[in-house]
Every structure is written in structure tokens, then in C-alpha cells.
């Protein structure tokens, strides 16, 4: 029976496919004692699970080929390590269940590896993955992490962390649906970066059965369960017609009377560059460098690795503008080697620029790597700091950039209300502002961006947020400097019109949204954008602001 669930649509388009759930971390099996006579049966269960997991890893390696195959084969060998298996058997003989025996034997081996120097310590994550797979198999629960599927699927999850999503195969993921997360969560950001439809904050998402066919409408937020063939055909035809109309749009971002608003792409690394170019991005407005740090959250990537990744992005935009954000660790993007583990409230703790000022060596390496990467390239490099709170933060960041010998413009992200309110004083130290409306909404409304139930307060149409955008844009205009938006607000075509009316000078978004924003912006004059902005700011709620802007634009 067809049934519709409704969440918040955060990435346009329609995806139709089968549901696959993101497996959650494996729980610790209970430490109950088993009777001695059960030991042989439990040992056989453990042995069978180990063999099945090893065979599965080898099979997946054969499919993947290349470097991935070597890694998966090494994991398969790990699973079958005779000493490890002997330890599992010993533990079962003295009363452990198969799953508990595996869990404890791997924990002991893990401790050994972790203390055995850098190379072996690096294998700990692989070992944990093998253990989780065996324990999940024994417990009969889904494999942890990204689904093992060779067929395309719609990924359902409670929420997605950047570390999970780094492992997704973009050719298999048709779309995302999450139970938690608001319009600015990482699930939403990643879906836009990948150009796949997504719905977040969907109550009941984790209860939808594995394998159910769903149609996800990333614009309306509707998720249809078991849609009829007729309905599927109708949705596909409408999505294709819309896509074709958008594909015809090209050229720089501007209003119908020629007021230029460069449309830039948000990228997480070189892998996102092709989509940015395909969608006609005029440059990069936000290069989230923390994705480079996620491969191994135990240490910073080497300078060489950083230079290589930065250069690939910079080379792709000759003569263009590329705004690189220095590492934004902490809160929703924790890194083991930098983020304090015991903060009572990480979103209000040492994160973003605060972390970098406490670890100047990490900032220095990053800035020097950027300087090196840009050497000899005609690109317009701009570097900005996340989570700037006041003039002192901006001053310290600019000083670090100068000290690193960076030939670039230095800027500050406006993500904290204090920075928007005192933008003029921050602009005494830096040359541009970039509004991170995701965090700015979070801090303005005291509403965690990861919590689905608070999606209403994360809505970037909230008039209080628009007031702060206006304050920052006004300060930049008076100072003769630029003020872009790189938060997810820029990806909403109608809101992009309002932001332009508020005086924002560039819009940066997941590449797939660029054609939508370009076509909508080109329909209105700057004067219309300003009137829509005024009407939105005069409203009392996000819904009213949206309706008021729509009315102004359609009535003229």
C-alpha cells in the first residue's frame, strides 16, 4: 500500500529505489556465562562467522580491485589470524558466548596493536571493522557502516557523520533519508555535494523496512513507500523535464538587470571539482578542508598530502576565485588528535579557529601548504577562518596568515551572532566576510543543527537570521569589502534572491544547486530582490517570510 511520510527536503530531485540502512555501531555483547557443554557449539559458530566474514571481504576485494582489494584481503587475513582464533576458543571454553569471545579476544589484540608503534596502530581501525563484522553476523544485526550492496540504493540512517559518508560509493547512492538532522546537517550538505536528492528530519525513517521501494522527493520532503509503477513513471518524467530545463541554464550569476552575484561551489576536496565545473561554478566559495583530515583522525595529514589536494582544486579554476576555509575541527566535526574529549558542550567549546589558535603548528602547516600549492598559479586564493567571534580572533588569524607568507586575501566566516553584530570591527582586520548561515542559525536560535526535532529553528528563512545577514552585508558595503554566503541558505533559489536583496555579494553552494539558483536569480531585477528582502525581514516567522517574498515576486 502506498504511504507518504513527510520530512524536510534539503536536496532537489527525485530518487526511486530500495531502502538500505546504515548499520549502527555494534553493541557490546552481554557477558553472560554459558554452560560448558555449549562451548563446542559456540566455538563452531565463531569459526563459521569468521570464515563467512573473511570470504565476504575477499569477494568484495575482487569486485573492487586495486588498492581497495589489498586492504580488504589484509582484513580477511586478520579475521583468520590463528592466534586470534585460538584466543577466541580459549575464552569460549571458560564460559564466553561466541560473540563475547570474539569481542574480548579482538579487544586484547587491539590493545597490543595500539601500543606497538605508528604503523600497527594505524591498523586498529581495520581490526575494529573486522571485529564489528563478525560480532554483527553472530548477533544477526545489519553490518555496521555503509551498506554492502552492489545495486544502487536509497540510504536510510539516523544521521550521517562526515566520517561515515567518506566511505560511500557515490555511484550506488541514489539519495538519502535521515531521521535526524536539519537543513544544515552534514547529511544535507553531502547530498547536495553529491547531487542526490535528500530528505532529513523524517520521523520513522529508521523503522522503514530494508528493501522497501521508496520515492524520495528532495524538494517537497515527501517520501512515498511502495509507490505504484504509474506513480514512479510520473515522478521520473517530471524530474527529467525539470533537469533538462535546468541544464539549459548557463553563464554567470546575475539578476535580470545585470547585477552580478558570482555563483560559487562548496567543495570538500578534488573529488567535488568535476561537478562544480559541470554546473558552471565561477569558483569555489567554500573549500571545507576538514575532509582531508578525516582519513585518519589520529593525526594531521602531511604537508605533501595537503599541498597535492589543495593544488588539484586551485588548478581547476585558473583566474577564478577559490576560498579555502582552514580546518574547522570540533563539535559536529571532531578529530581525535585535536578535539578535547571531555567538553560538556562541544558546540560551545574549543572548535574551529579556537582549536587552531591552541594548535598553531596545525594552522601553520595548513597555511604554508596552501602557499606552496598556489605557487605559480593565476588563481585568486582567499583563505578564511571558521568560527570567528570578535576582532581579536580576526586579528590573530590574519597575523598567522601573514607569518606563513601567504599571498592571499584573508577573511572571516560569520557564524556567531557576535561576528554579525560587530562585523565592522572584524573588517578592520580582514578583507572579506563569508556568512556560514548553518552555524549562524544554530547559535542564533540555540538549536543544535544535528537535532531533527529543531529543524524549524534551523530554517534559514527565520527573520532573525535575515537580520544578522543584513547587518554583516551592510558592514561590508560600508567598508567597501565583500560579503558572501556559503551556508546552505545560498542553495535555496528563492532565498538566494532575498540574500541578493540584502546585499550579499556572492553565493556559494553544493554544485548541483547552482543551475536552480542561476535560473531563479535571472528572473528578477535587483530592485525586486530588495523588495522581497524587505518583505521577508518584516515577517514574524520563516513560513511568513517565505510567503511574503514569494508574494512580492509573483505580484510584480
- Active-site residues, by number, are 186, 486
The residues near 333 (Cβ < 8 Å, ≥ 6 apart) are 162, 290
Output the CA–CA distances (angstroms, integers) from residue 82 to 77, 78, 87, 373, 447, in the order listed: 9, 9, 9, 47, 51
- Binds 437: which of Mg ion, ligand PEP, none (CB < 5-8 Å by kind): ligand PEP
- Binds 222: which of ligand PEP, Mg ion, none (CB < 5-8 Å by kind): none
Output the CA–CA distances (angstroms, integers) from residue 75 to 55, 134, 304, in the order listed: 11, 12, 28
CA-to-CA distance for 7 and 1, rounded, in angstroms?
20
Q: Would you say 189 or 419 has its CB closer to ligand PEP?
A: 189
- ∠ CA 257-261-265, nearest 5°, is 145
Q: Do 352 and 463 touch, CB atoms closer than 8 A?
A: no
Beta strands in 134-276 (DSSP E): 153-157, 173-178, 198-200, 213-217, 222-225, 263-267
Q: Do 243 and 17 touch, CB atoms closer than 8 A?
A: no
Residue 325 known to bind ligand: yes
Residue 438 known to bind ligand: yes
Residue 452, CB half-sphere, CA atoms under 13 Å: how many?
A: 23
Using CB under 5 A, which of the segments 62-70, 423-431, 438-446, 489-497 binds Mg ion?
438-446
Could you count the other beta carbons within 10 Å of the beta carbon of residue 143? 16
Is residue 459 close enough to count as binding Mg ion by CB under 5 A? no
- Shortest distance, CB of residue 347 to ligand PEP, whole angstroms? 10
Q: Would you say 42 or 328 has its CB closer to ligand PEP?
A: 328
- Binds 268: which of Mg ion, ligand PEP, none (CB < 5-8 Å by kind): none
- Shortest distance, CB of residue 328 to Mg ion, whole angstroms? 6
C-alpha cell at 377: 598559479
Q: Do 406 and 370 touch, CB atoms closer than 8 A?
A: yes
Q: Is residue 134 helix, strand or coil?
A: helix
CA-to-CA distance for 268 and 287, rounded, in angstroms?
6
- Shortest distance, CB of residue 113 to Mg ion, whole angstroms? 35
- Binds 165: which of ligand PEP, Mg ion, none (CB < 5-8 Å by kind): none
Is residue 436 close enough to count as binding Mg ion by CB under 5 A? yes
C-alpha cell at 269: 576536496
- ∠ CA 200-293-483, nearest 5°, is 65
Is residue 439 close enough to count as binding Mg ion by CB under 5 A? yes
Pairing mode, if any, of strands 380-385 and 409-414? parallel
Beta bridge partners of 9: 199
Q: How many residues at the interface with ligand PEP, by CB under 6 A? A: 11
- Binds 487: which of ligand PEP, Mg ion, none (CB < 5-8 Å by kind): ligand PEP
Q: Would you say 59 or 348 has its CB closer to ligand PEP?
A: 348
Using CB under 5 A, which of the segments 289-297, 329-337, 341-349, 412-420 binds Mg ion?
412-420
- Binds 289: which of ligand PEP, Mg ion, none (CB < 5-8 Å by kind): none
Q: Would you say 208 or 264 has its CB closer to ligand PEP?
A: 264
Handedness of CA 116, 121, 122, 127 (dihedral sign): positive
Q: Would you say 222 or 415 has its CB closer to Mg ion?
A: 415
Going edge to edge, which strands form the sheet with 198-200? 3-6, 222-225, 213-217, 14-21, 153-157, 173-178, 198-200, 8-11
Using CB under 5 A, which of the segments 21-29, 287-295, 331-339, 430-438 binds Mg ion?
430-438
Q: Would you say 64 or 163 has its CB closer to ligand PEP?
A: 163
Residue 415 known to bind ligand: yes
| Site pattern 5..44 for ligand PEP (x: CB under 6 A) | ----------------------------------------
| Site pattern 178..217 for ligand PEP (x: CB under 6 A) | -----------x----------------------------
| Site pattern 263..292 for ligand PEP (x: CB under 6 A) | -----------------------x-x----
| Site pattern 53..92 for ligand PEP (x: CB under 6 A) | ----------------------------------------
Q: Would you say 85 or 471 has its CB closer to ligand PEP?
A: 471
Which residue's Cβ lies closest to Mg ion? 439
Question: What is the greatest pairwise CA distance in the chain?
Answer: 84
Q: Residues 311 to 330: which contact ligand PEP by CB under 6 A?
A: 328
From 487, 493, 503, 510, residue interacting with ligand PEP (rule: CB under 6 A): 487
- Binds 286: which of ligand PEP, Mg ion, none (CB < 5-8 Å by kind): ligand PEP
Q: Residues 427 to 446: which contact ligand PEP by CB under 6 A?
A: 436-439
The residues near 476 (Cβ < 8 Å, ≥ 6 apart) are 423, 427, 432, 433, 482, 483, 503, 505
Is residue 488 close enough to count as binding Mg ion by CB under 5 A? no
Q: Measure the N-to-C terminal CA separation of the chain; round to a whole number of Å.
A: 44
C-alpha cell at 511: 554544485
Is residue 290 close enough to count as binding Mg ion by CB under 5 A? no
Is residue 486 close enough to count as binding ligand PEP by CB under 6 A? yes
Helices 360-374/303-315 angle, 10° precision = 40
Q: Would you say 87 or 164 has its CB closer to ligand PEP?
A: 164
Q: What is the DSSP letter of 220?
A: T
Q: Would you say 154 or 447 has its CB closer to ligand PEP?
A: 447
- Shortest distance, CB of residue 286 to ligand PEP, whole angstroms? 6
Alpha helices in 316-429 (DSSP H): 353-358, 360-374, 391-403, 417-421, 423-426
Beta bridge partners of 363: none
Helices 39-64/124-139 angle, 10° precision = 120
Q: Which residues bind ligand PEP (CB under 6 A)?
A: 189, 286, 288, 328, 415, 436-439, 486-487
Binding site members for phosphoenolpyruvate: 288, 325, 438-439, 449
Q: Which residues bind Mg ion (CB under 5 A)?
A: 415, 436, 439
Binding site members: 288, 325, 415, 438-439, 449
Amino acid at each position: 500500500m502506498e504511504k507518504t511520510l513527510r520530512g524536510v527536503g534539503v536536496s532537489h530531485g527525485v530518487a526511486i529505489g530500495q531502502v538500505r540502512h546504515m548499520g549502527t555501531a555494534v553493541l557490546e555483547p552481554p557477558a553472560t556465562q554459558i554452560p560448558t557443554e555449549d562451548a563446542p557449539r559456540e566455538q563452531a559458530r565463531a569459526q563459521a562467522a569468521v570464515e563467512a566474514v573473511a570470504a565476504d571481504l575477499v569477494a568484495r576485494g575482487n569486485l573492487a580491485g586495486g588498492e581497495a582489494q589489498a586492504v580488504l584481503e589484509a582484513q580477511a587475513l586478520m579475521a583468520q589470524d590463528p592466534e586470534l582464533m585460538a584466543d577466541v576458543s580459549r575464552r569460549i571454553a571458560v564460559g564466553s558466548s561466541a560473540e563475547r569471545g570474539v569481542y574480548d579476544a579482538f579487544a586484547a589484540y587491539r590493545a597490543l596493536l595500539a601500543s606497538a608503534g605508528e604503523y600497527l596502530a594505524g591498523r586498529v581501525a581495520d581490526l575494529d571493522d573486522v571485529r564489528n563484522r563478525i560480532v554483527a553476523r553472530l548477533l544477526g544485526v545489519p553490518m555496521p557502516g555503509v551498506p554492502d550492496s552492489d545495486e544502487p540504493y536509497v540510504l536510510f540512517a539516523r544521521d550521517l557523520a562526515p566520517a561515515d559518508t567518506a566511505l560511500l560509493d557515490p555511484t550506488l547512492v541514489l539519495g538519502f533519508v535521515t531521521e535526524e538532522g536539519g537543513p544544515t546537517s552534514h547529511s544535507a550538505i553531502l547530498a547536495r555535494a553529491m547531487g542526490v536528492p535528500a530528505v532529513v528530519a523524517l520521523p520513522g525513517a529508521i523503522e522503514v523496512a530494508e528493501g522497501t521501494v521508496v520515492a524520495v522527493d528532495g524538494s517537497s520532503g515527501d517520501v512515498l513507500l511502495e509507490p505504484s509503477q504509474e506513480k514512479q513513471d510520473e515522478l521520473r518524467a517530471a524530474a527529467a523535464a525539470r533537469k533538462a530545463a535546468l541544464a539549459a541554464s548557463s553563464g554567470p550569476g546575475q539578476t535580470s538587470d545585470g547585477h552580478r552575484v558570482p555563483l560559487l561551489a562548496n567543495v570538500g576536496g578534488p573529488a567535488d571539482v568535476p561537478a562544480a565545473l559541470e554546473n558552471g561554478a565561477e569558483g569555489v566559495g567554500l573549500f571545507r578542508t576538514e575532509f582531508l583530515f578525516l582519513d585518519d583522525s589520529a593525526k594531521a595529514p602531511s604537508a605533501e598530502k595537503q599541498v597535492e589536494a589543495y593544488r588539484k582544486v586551485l588548478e581547476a579554476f585558473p583566474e577564478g576565485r577559490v576560498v579555502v576555509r582552514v580546518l574547522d575541527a570540533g563539535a559536529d566535526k571532531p578529530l581525535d588528535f585535536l578535539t578535547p574529549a571531555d567538553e560538556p558542550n562541544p558546540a560551545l567549546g574549543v572548535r574551529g579557529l579556537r582549536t587552531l589558535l591552541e594548535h598553531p603548528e596545525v594552522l601553520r602547516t595548513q597555511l604554508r601548504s596552501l602557499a606552496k600549492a598556489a605557487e605559480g598559479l593565476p588563481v585568486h586564493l582567499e583563505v578564511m577562518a571558521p568560527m570567528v567571534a570578535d576582532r581579536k580572533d580576526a586579528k590573530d588569524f590574519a597575523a598567522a596568515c601573514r607569518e606563513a607568507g601567504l599571498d592571499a586575501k584573508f577573511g572571516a566566516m560569520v557564524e556567531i551572532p557576535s561576528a554579525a553584530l560587530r562585523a565592522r570591527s572584524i573588517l578592520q582586520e580582514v578583507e572579506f566576510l563569508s556568512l556560514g548561515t548553518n552555524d549562524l542559525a544554530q547559535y542564533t536560535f540555540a538549536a543544535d543543527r544535528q537535532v531533527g526535532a529543531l529543524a524549524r529553528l534551523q530554517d534559514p528563512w527565520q527573520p532573525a537570521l535575515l537580520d544578522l545577514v543584513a547587518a554583516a552585508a551592510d558592514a561590508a558595503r560600508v567598508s567597501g569589502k565583500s560579503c558572501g554566503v556559503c551556508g546552505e541558505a545560498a542553495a535555496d533559489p528563492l532565498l538566494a534572491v532575498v540574500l541578493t536583496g540584502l546585499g550579499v555579494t556572492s553565493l556559494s553552494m553544493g554544485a548541483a544547486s547552482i543551475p536552480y539558483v542561476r535560473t531563479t536569480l535571472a528572473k528578477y531585477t535587483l530592485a525586486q530582490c530588495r523588495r522581497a528582502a524587505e518583505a521577508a525581514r518584516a515577517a514574524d516567522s520563516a513560513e511568513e517570510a517565505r510567503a511574503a517574498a514569494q508574494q512580492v515576486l509573483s505580484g510584480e
